[in-house]
A = this chain, B = another copy of it.
Amino acid sequence: MATILTVEDAYPGVDAELLKKACHGWGTDEKAVISILAHRNAPQRKLIREAYKDMYGEDLVKRLEHELSGDLERAVYRWNLDPADRNAVLANVALRKEHRDHRVFIELSCTLSPEELFDVKRAYQCRYKRSLEEDIASHTSDDLRKLLVGLVSIHRYQGDEVNLKLANSESSILRNAIEEKTFNHEEILRIITTRSKPQLMATLNHYKDEHGCNMTKQLKDDRANEYTETLRTTIRCMSDPIKYFEKVIRNAVKKSGTNEDALTRVIVTRAEKDLKIIMDQYQKRNSVPLDHVIAKETSGHYKRFLLALLGKDE
């Protein structure tokens, strides 16, 4: 369930004209920009960009990038892009950061269909003149490389069929590897990166039934490192994306200093999909509505924009 409140009878030409006015002269009318764009869905925003280009001969995305600044600029920029192109940008930004945020790659792998992931890779190549896989591979090494490249490159089976015998035997393979503390065992990597989601869930459920404990718990010990953390996060995101996104948001707002990048990413990528359910989960888990927390932890036009995407305009 989406959160944004859209207008059914929006006119792209009128919107483009209002956005042009909002950008005119000294200073920008951020409120006007937000009041339009936060209430248009992806196809509507695309039509606005096209109308703007036809009417004024310039790229609206670039124009707004120039007009706005800081967290608002980054949020509006991401929001304005087509979903595949946006994910390509998020992936590239994640790679270029000093402290890489591997969750972007996990989200691509665990929440997109193979067709959507293929479109992201195409958009990535078009934008950066390199492949997503080669960039991930050349920015990482060892086990983490194997895991991340496997996640974004392998096309998982999409059917619902589950082979319970296979789940049983692969649960034992995982158990043996974990008992030996070889968390980077090639069979763990194979099972996690290649099996279909329903098959993997059956294997993990079998693991839990047999050993009385989630596999993710047992991956957390003194040997924990970037690779095991990424492996655990992958399993959590695949098992329950709603809980996973709730946790990303919780971590983004709970610490001293909000992680605006993560907060923006989840809100912008989920606002037209399942953000309503993520918000419900947030309230259930933290006993406080997400919009109250965001209103407290962020400020200015950035706050206004996020709240509008949450369907909570002031």
Contacts of A142 in B (CB 8 A): 186
Whether the pair A131, B154 counts as a contact (CB closer than 8 A) is yes
Distance in angstroms between the alpha carbons of A200 and B166 in the assembled complex? 38
Q: A154-B149, A155-B118, A186-B141 are in contact. Are A161 and B129 (CB under 8 A)?
A: yes
Among A34-42, A100-108, A188-196, A248-256, the stretch that binds chain B is: A188-196
A contact patch SS: helix
Residue of B nearest to A117 (CB): B155
Q: A133-B194, A161-B129, A194-B137 are in contact. Are A186 and B145 (CB under 8 A)?
A: yes
Distance in angstroms between the alpha carbons of A298 and B142 in the assembled complex? 49
Contacts of A196 in B (CB 8 A): 130-131, 134
Distance in angstroms between the alpha carbons of A146 and B189 in the assembled complex? 11
Number of copies of this kind of chain in the complex = 2
Q: Is A132 an interface residue (CB 8 A)?
A: yes
Q: Is A239 an interface residue (CB 8 A)?
A: no
Whether the pair B141, A155 counts as a contact (CB closer than 8 A) is no
Q: Is A287 an interface residue (CB 8 A)?
A: no
Contacts of A154 in B (CB 8 A): 131, 133-134, 149, 153
Whether the pair A125, B159 counts as a contact (CB closer than 8 A) is yes
Q: When the two chains form the complex, which single residue of B130, B137, B141, B153 contacts A153, counting CB atoms closer than 8 Å?
A: B153
Contacts of A190 in B (CB 8 A): 137-138, 145
Query: CB within 8 Å of B: which of A182-216?
Result: 186, 190, 194-196
Q: Is A121 an interface residue (CB 8 A)?
A: yes
Q: Is A158 an interface residue (CB 8 A)?
A: yes
Which residues of A are interface residues toward B (Cβ below 8 A)?
114, 118, 121-122, 125, 129-134, 137-138, 141-142, 145-146, 149-150, 153-159, 161, 186, 190, 194-196
